[in-house]
Every structure is written in structure tokens, then in C-alpha cells.
Amino acid sequence: MKHHRIFIFLVLLLLFIQPAMADDDSVATGDLMNYIAFGSFFAVLLLILAAMLVVLRAFRVLTRVLLKHQGLNSAQIAAEMNPVKAKKPKAEVWQKLLSLKPLAQEHELLIAHDYDGIQELDNPIPAWFMYLFYGTIIFAIGYLLNYHVFKTGQLQYAEYNTEMAQAAIEKKAFLAKAANRVDENTVKLVSDPAVLASGGAIFKSTCAPCHGEHAQGNVGPNLTDDYWLHGSKINDLFKTIKYGVLSKGMPTWEKQLSPKQISDVANYIKSLHGTNPAGAKAPQGTKEEDTDKKLVANN
Amino acid sequence: MQPENFYYDNKIVRNFGIATVIWGIIGMTVGLIIAIQLYHPAANMGNQYTTYGRIRPLHTNAVIFAFVGNAIFMGVYYSLQRLLKARMFSDVLSQIHFWGWQLIIVSAVITLPLGLTTSHEYAELEWPIDIAITIIWVVFGWNMFGTIFKRRERHLYVAIWFYIATFVTIAVLHIVNSIELPVSPFKSYMVYAGVQDALVQWWYGHNAVAFFLTTPYLGMMYYFLPKMANRPIYSYKLSILHFWALIFIYIWAGPHHLLYTTLPGWAQSLGVAFSIMLIAPSWGGMINGLLTLRGAWDKVRDDVILKFMVVALTAYGMATFEGPMLSLKQVNGIAHFSDWIIAHVHVGALGWNGFLTFAVLYWLIPRIYKTELFSKKMASFHFWIGTLGILFYAIPMYWAGFTQSLMLKEFTPEGMLKYPNFLETTLQILPMHIMRSAGGAMYLLGVIVMAYNLTRTALQGKLVANEAAQAMPLEPANQVAREAHWHRRLERRPIQMLIAALLVILVGTFVELMPTLTISSNIPTIAAVKPYTPLELQGRDLYIREGCSNCHSQTVRPFRSETERYGEYSKAGEFVYDHPFLWGSKRTGPDLARIGQKYGNAWHYNHLMDPRLMSPGSIMPEYSWLITQKLDTSLTRAKIHAMRTLGVPYPIGYENIANQDLDKQAKAISANLYEDKIKVKSNREIIAIIAYLQRLGTDIKANKTVNNIK
């Protein structure tokens, strides 16, 4: 009973500790957590293996003790622990399945000649082996006929066209339903916190390496000042992100970010204007008035 | 006639055995290091000689040609003498063979970390070493056939058929795949380019597996397994069928390494069809082995050597079933370029080659030292830790391969890639890579225990360097009755056997290689594709030196998930000036076929200096020496000249002004970097490699930029 209480207490304790630990996870990075998690997973596996070995050992010892308790002497115990294995009946099912000759008749098949003591049997090639071989040959011929003679199967480029056509249909159907059809002409400036939060997350993962954590500029230009290389309007930003400026090293994001995501991140960048982050890169491009803001103000 | 007395040479067997164990430990240790590098980039040790790209080939070469190679020679030299009832033909040739082979391995250990490589997988060694390999291989063949000619046993046993096929096919493979044009003592260009080079390389690569890792080991299995189990071989007829079928069909299967590439469709389909037909001939060896153990399974329970053999045969059976399955294009589309393939080859390498080698060592060393194995317990420990090691290695890698491939192919309902950033998928599988290295470490630990056990065995015994034997000499051939069965007759004629094996493997070789190498319509050319500039060519050679192709492929397959991620799928005509091709076989990082102009020069500079600056969490090593090392332009002239000899249309005399063009382009890149506040001299290696990367895939790339949309 006492043990049960301790056990319940431990479980409860764990339950309470867990949320506390979760709150505190900023201390350890995601990577570190992964290492720890998989390290412990691995350790637990090994531990279970070790425990199984210990339990097995314990059972053997226990059996020995019990047998001794029943008054058996050590020779009898040894006999009990390692019983003489009864001869199992010959595995006739296997023999039939593999069409093998019984071992007793093996000597009839021995080829007289030997090589350094190695003899060979003159067993026929098993029929099932030949079926397997013929089966694969038929498959191979069928494969070639399918793709190259009857042309019923699609080769890689036809396959690709089918895949792309199918994807285009699915995409169109989806976009017709979803209000996701924003492009550089229809993108709107918004200050919805949800949009900015989503944009901020995308910025951190995709833009920060080149433009800096706070958009202060790094390999890419500062995005918080008044100077712009490719236009400061939300439409310009959308376009620059979508198509990139390959000659200057800005990648195309059209394939990696959805229109909604591009719009979010463009809005997030607009929201950073004038934040004057530390270590800002020197201005590049031309000074532009923030016409978007005026528009919003006028509205 | 009187029986003749003679002596078997056990010393050469012992020497090859020692080399097997030592190189095995070295090769596997390097394997463990590179496995750790894949989740802990600092394990690259911050210098160019130990980065992943350079020592991964060291690992593969060491385990294939040093560990398995020496094990083959150990097994062949032991069994051949006994099966032919004759001492090796010449002790001098045996010595040359042994020391020559070790010297080749040592030269690999030196040149590969130095970045001297042809980049052809499993054939990375540069041309002088290729020549040395050819010579030593001929010495091996000479010694083998010399022994066969002075044999005291009329018929050649099945093991020897496999040895003969191994000898002749490896010779053909090695020579054809090593046709290079030397530029300097340590640099050469492959004669074939692009698709043709890829086809030759994978015809070689696949059949190196067939005729270096499979046929000699089947031969060894046919000798050692009946000896170990004291049982007759199950079926002589099956031996004949599966031997000839195996060597005939195997040679065709190479193109399955190039599915969904620009290799012509008919060649791809032939590769698939023959791979499927390979199941039964491959399994013939396993079945003949396992059925030989019929009536001896009670021995397997007690005898650790037989346990090793059973796992080896089972691993062989699994790998040779999985191989054909992987060649089906639907499966291949998922598995290729992923960790799945790494799992597949390691089931074969660790299970089949490794365990069979260990079994032979445990069986043979006590015999030639006339003693018992030092510790059966240790051998048993080795068996269990090795088996667990294989499981801990293979399962996480299957898991990782499957996970990453599916992630890379996943789309959102909007029609966007769900994981557009390749790195995200890499980070997902790092825990599996950690477990894999634990599995590898367990396996290595087992080998070290074996080394100790065998050393103690040798120390407690005494080597019987020359083992006395007795046999009747052969009667003159004309006094022997003609045999009814055609194959029995063939077994008495080694030269006919050699020629028959050669003809059988040449059929597939010619049908597959010849059309692609000679008929130009198989490689449609593209007018927009131009030769590399001198700077790009130098950059490409740096890319080869650093072994970038060990982690980055350069071929975009026609899949939606790849064209969305990387751009237009690759065309055969894009690679016509690529001597050698650099498609790679594994995507540890993203494909680079269309990396050109995707990022700015500054991005590449920072990324090469420290990949984690631009891609946080990246596992790519740092390449800071590219910034400090000066580009060696002394070979530009020879390189341009060599390329023109190989058919790349540089104008006559261009080699004389090539370095001027090189300087001009380098200065432009350096000036461009300066705009981004990066000060680097134009004569540094990094400039050349940036030039090459920015060129990749741009010849036919349709650029959609803000500028050209307007």
C-alpha cells in the first residue's frame, strides 16, 4: 500500500513539473531539446534491454532457489534448468513447401567427386525457384512492352506533364474557394496584429539572414529607413519579394511563400519603418516619401 | 603415379588477413567520423583535409577496396590453393600483389584528403593510381591463372568460377571507367561528358557492387560455408544456373542509378527490367547457402561462426531483394538521393560483406595458427553487438530517408511546397542520424573486440607458414574420358571459362553503353549551352576538389516537387561540356543544378565562409580556406587545351589568353563583393567557386526578375 502512495505521488509530481518545465523551455534551444529527447530515448531503449537481461537472470536465479527449496539436489536442478530437448518431428511442411528431398535419402544425390573435402549434391533446382525466375522475366518483358511498345505507361516527361496538369487543376479549385488570391496589384496595407505577427515569423525565418534580425540590413539593404532601391509602396514590396531582384542577389520567393504570406511579410516590413534599429546599414537607393502611410492617414 | 608433396602458402593468407582487420578498423572509424559530421559540423575539425566532402570517399574506398579487397584476397589465396591442390603460382607475385595493393590504399589515404579526386564514385583515385591498380590487378590474375595451370585437380569448383568472373569483369570495369586525359600528375578529365559519363560511371559503380562485393564473396561462401558446416553444397545445378544468370544479368542493371535523369528512356527501362530479373539469380546464392545448412541448424545454435554466416546470407538476401524493388521507378522516385539508399547499402556492406569476412577470419586464423580461438565468448559478443549495430544503423536511416523524401514532396493546398526550405527537412532527421552513428559505433566496437581476440589467438599459436599437403598429379588431358555434361567439360578448361564469362558480361555492356556513347540523337544538344569560362572551369575543379558532389546533386528530376523547388528539370544538352559529370548520388543538401543567379555573390561568400550565417542550423562545413588560398592558375592553359582535345569548342589558341579572361571575370566578382562591404582579393579560390556556382544551370534558365518583367 505504502508503495502505491509513493507511486501516485510521483506521478502527480511529474504532472505538476511538466507544465513548469514547458514554460521554461526558452532556456534550451529546440536543437538542444531534440538532442536531449533523442538521447534519453536511446538511453531508455538501452536501459530496457539491460533491464530485460537482469530480469532474465533474476528468473533463472529464482528458479534455482525455488527448486532447491523443493529439496532437489544440484544435479537435479541442472537437469531441470536445461531439459534435454525432445526431438521435434521433421519439419515436413517446409520440406513440402520447398520441395526438398528428406535428409535420409540425401546420400543418393551425392556427387562422387569432392574438392578439398567439399562435396556437392545433385539436387534439382527447386521448382519454386524457377517460377520466381520465370515470373520476373515475364514482368520484365511486360515492363518493356508497357513503356516502349504499346506505350500504355507514361515515361518520365509525360508523367511530369500529367502531374503538373493535375496540380494546376487542384490549385485552381482551391484558390477559387479560398480568399487567397492576392497579387502585387491587389495587395493592401493593413495593420492587423495577426497579419503582422504572421509576417514577423516569416521574416525571422526567411529574410533575417540577409536583412538582419531587425531589418537593419546585412548582405541585403536596411529596410527600416527612408531609402528604397525598388520602391517603398506595399505593391512594390510585394513585387520585389515575389519575383526577387536576381541581379542583386534577392531571391525569388514566389515558389516558397504563398501570396498571403508575401502580403503578410510585406506588411510586417512596412510596420518596421522608422524603428531605427541598432547597427543599421547605410542607406541605399533613393529617398522616398511613405505614400502608403499618407493614404491610410487620409482615409 | 606417385602422390606429390607440396606446401600451401599460409603466410600470404595471414598477411591479407591482418590487412583486412587493420583497414577495416580504419575505414569504419572514418565512417563513424563522417556520420558524426552530419549532425555536428564541428567534427569537420575546421581544416580542409578532414571535411566531409574529402573523407567520405576515403571511407568508401577504405571499406570497399581496403577492407573487403584484402578480405577477398585472403579468402581467394586460402581457398584457391586448396581447391586446386597447388601452392600459389609464384611467391614473388603474391608479395608484389600484397604490397602493391597496400601501397595503392596508402596512396588513397594520402591523395583523397588532399582533394585529388576524379569525383567518380568508388573510382575517385587519380590516373597514376588507376594505372597502379591495373598493374596489380594483372599481377593478381597472373598469379591466379598460373596456379590454375599447375593445378592437381582437373575440375574447377564453383568458387573458382566466381573468382574468374570477378577478375575479368573488374578488369573491364576499371579500365573503361578510368579513361581519363591527364592534365598534370594529379589532375585529369574524364573522356566522356555529362550523360555519357554518368552512364559509364554507374555501369561501373553498380557492377563494382556486383563483381567486387558480391561475386568474390559468393565464391568464398561456396568454399567456406560447406567447410564450416561440414555439409555438402545443396545443388550443383543451381550453382551453374545462378552463376551464369547472375553475371549475365547484373551487368545490365546500372542505369537504375540514373532513373528520372536525362539518360534516354530506353536505357532507364532496360536497367529496371534487368534489375527485376536479378532477384532469382541473386537469391540462388542465398538459397544454395541456406539449404547447405540443412541438417546442420543445430550447429548454428552453438557455433558463432555459422551464426555470422547465416546473418550474412540473410542480409545478402534482403539487400538483393530490396535492390530490384528500389529500381522500380515509383519507389526510386522516393528513395533515390535519400538516406534510404544509405540504409540499403549498409545492410549489404555490414551484413553480407562484414559478417562473412568475420566468419572467415574466425574460422581461418585458428587453423593457420594451429590453435583454438582465444575466446568464444568474445566472438559471441562480437556477433550480438554487430547484429544490434546493424539494426541501430539501418532502422533510423530507413526512417530518415522516408521522412525527408516525403517532406520534400509535400505540397500545401495552395499548391506551395510545404517545406520550401530544404534545411527544415534536414533538421527533422538529425536525431535519426545521431542514432545511426550510435549503431555504427556498436558495430565498430565489435570489430575492435574481434581484432583483440584474433591477436590473442595468433599469439597463443604458431603460424604454419608452409602447410604440407599431398595430392596426385593430373593425368595428361588426352587420357581423360570426355564427359557427357557440357558444363563439366567447361569446368576443365579455365581459359574457355574466362572467355565465356567475358563474353557474357560484354553483351549487356555493349547494348547499353554503345548507343549512348556513339549515337548523337541520344543526347540532344542545346545551342544556348556554352563552355565554361576559364574562371568557372577552375571553380568547377575546386568544387570537385572539395567533394561538393558528395552532398549536392546537380540534376533536377522531372517531378513537380523538384521543379517548384529548384527550377526547370535538367536537359541532357546542358551537360555536354561536363567532364566529368557531377550529378552526385545523394542529397544531404539541396540540388545545385540551377543555383546560378539565385542568390547574390555576397550570399555565397558569407555562406561558404560560415554556412550558419546565412542558413541557421545548416550542417554544411565551413570553407574559410577558400578565402585565404590563392587560386592556382598555372594549369589554366593545360586545362583549356585538354578540354578542347575532348571536344569542348574553345577557339584555337584560346588557352594563351584564358588567364586574362579569368582575371577580368575575377575582378568583376571581387568588385561586386566590395559593394557589399566584402573585401576579398580577386585571386582567391572563393572567387572562382562563386563564379562556377553562379553559372550553374543559367544557360537555359528563364529568369523572371523585376527588371525583365517590366
Q: How many domains does chain B have?
A: 1
Helices marked H in B353-493 — which ranges? 355-368, 376-409, 422-460, 486-490
> In this structure, which amino acid lies at residue B320?
T
Contact yes or no for A119 and B226 at CB 8 A: yes
| Beta bridge partner(s), residue A118 | A115
Please state, in angstroms and rounded to a whole number, the distance separating the CA atoms of residues B153 and B400. Answer: 52
Q: What is the pLDDT of residues B136-153, one digit of tens each?
A: 999 999 999 999 999 999
Q: Choose the closest CB to B676 out of A37, A180, A219.
A: A219
- Neighboring chain A residues of B85 at a CB cutoff of 8 Å: 116
| B563 chain-A contacts, CB cut-off 8 A | 160, 164
- How far off is chain A from B502, nearest CA to CA, in Å? 23
Which residues is A18 bridged to in the sheet?
none
Better pLDDT: B200 or A100: B200
**Segment 530-569 of chain B within 8 Å of chain A by CB:** 557-560, 563-565, 569
What is the nearest CA distance from A125 to chain B, expressed in angstroms? 5
- pLDDT-derived band at A297, boundaries 50, 70, 90: very low
**Together in a domain, A232 and A252:** yes
pLDDT at B588 over 50: yes
Confidence of residue B114 (pLDDT cuts 50, 70, 90): very high
Across the interface, whether the CB atoms of A257 and B416 are under 8 A apart is answered: yes
**Above 80 in pLDDT, residue B643?**
yes
Whether A247 sits inside 8 A of B245 (CB atoms) is no
Q: Does A260 map to a domain? A: yes
Tens digit of pLDDT for each residue in B513-559? 988 887 777 777 888 899 999 999 999 999 999 999 999 999 999 99
Peptide bond into A283 cis (omega under 30): no
- Identify the CA nearest to B439 among candidates B21, B31, B58: B31
For chain A, how many structural domains are there in total?
3
Query: B558 near B518, Cβ under 8 Å?
Result: no
Instruction: Cell 514590396: give the residue.
Output: A237
Does residue B174 lie within any of the structural domains?
A: no
The pLDDT-based confidence of B362 (bands split at 50, 70, 90) is very high
Q: What is the Cα–Cα distance from A62 to A54, expressed in whole angstroms?
A: 12
Residues A201, A217 share a domain: yes
User: B676 pLDDT band (50/70/90 cuts)?
Assistant: confident
> What is residue A97's predicted lDDT score, i.e. its pLDDT?
74
Find the CB nearest A125 among B235, B260, B434.
B235
Contact flag A246-B266 (C-beta cutoff 8 Å): no
- In the structure grid, which three cell numbers stand for residue B707, read together? 527588371
Give the per-residue pLDDT at A180: 62
The more confidently predicted of residues A254 and B533 is B533
- Could you read off the pLDDT of B475-499 as tens digits, one per residue? 887 777 888 889 999 999 999 999 9
pLDDT tops 50 at residue B510: yes
Q: Is residue B560 part of a domain?
A: yes
Per residue in B248-268, pLDDT (tens digit) is: 999 999 999 999 999 999 999
Q: Residue B620 sits in a domain of what CATH number?
A: 1.10.760.10
pLDDT at A10 over 80: no
Q: Does B644 touch chain A (CB under 8 A)?
A: no
pLDDT in tens, B185-198: 999 999 999 999 99
Which pLDDT tens digit goes with each residue over B302-336? Answer: 999 999 999 999 999 999 999 999 999 999 999 99
Quick one: A262 and A230 in the same domain? yes
Q: Is residue B643 part of a domain?
A: yes
Q: Are residues A235 and A268 in the same domain?
A: yes
B653: in domain: yes
Given this model, what pLDDT does residue A230 score?
87
Structural domain of B700: 534-709
Name the B residues in 474-533 with CB < 8 Å from any A CB. none
| Spatial separation of the C-alpha atoms in residues A11 and A200, rounded to whole Å | 39
- Which of B236, B332, B488 should be substituted to probe chain A, the one whose Cβ sees the most A Cβ atoms within 10 Å? B236
B682 is a domain residue:
yes
In a domain, B645, yes or no: yes
Lowest mean pLDDT among A18-27, B99-108, B617-626: A18-27
B707–A contact, CB cutoff 8 A: yes
Phi/psi for B33 (5° steps) reads -60, -45
Would the pTM count as exceeding 0.95?
A: no
Query: Is A116 within the bounds of a domain?
Result: yes
Residue A38 lies in a domain: no
A249 and A294 part of one domain:
yes
B40 belongs to a structural domain: no
Gap from A93 CA to chain B (nearest CA, Å):
14
Task: Answer yes or no: is B638 within a domain.
Answer: yes
pLDDT for the residue numbered A29: 63
**Smallest Cβ distance to B234: which of A123, A240, A254?**
A123
Task: Assess whether A294 and A212 both reside in one domain.
Answer: yes
Shared domain for A224 and A269, answered yes or no, is yes
User: What's the whole-number average pLDDT of chain B?
Assistant: 94
Burial B634-664 (b: 16+ CB within 10 A, else e): eebbebbbbbbebebebeeebbeebbeebee
Asked if A247 and A280 sit in the same domain, the reply is yes
C-alpha B442: how far from chain center: 23
pLDDT higher than threshold 90 for residue B369:
yes
The reply to whether A246 falls in a domain is yes
Tell me the chain A residues in contact with residue B263 when contact means C-beta distances shorter than 8 Å: none
- Mean pLDDT for B649-675 is 95
**CATH at residue A227:** 1.10.760.10
- Residue A292 is predicted with a pLDDT of 59
Q: What is the pLDDT of residue B700?
A: 85
Selecting from A143, A219, A251 the residue whose C-beta is nearest the C-beta of B598 gives A251
B115 vs A181, more confident: B115
Kindly tell me if the per-residue pLDDT of B708 is higher than 60: no
Domain that residue A114 falls in: 110-153
ipTM more than 0.95? no
Q: Which residues of B touch A113 (CB under 8 A)?
A: 155
Confidence of residue A1 (pLDDT cuts 50, 70, 90): low
pLDDT digits (tens, 9 = 90+) for A130-179: 999 999 999 999 999 999 999 999 999 999 999 999 999 988 888 777 65
DSSP state of B47: S
| Residue percentage of chain A with pLDDT more than 90 | 22
Contact B238/A133, CB-based, under 8 Å? no
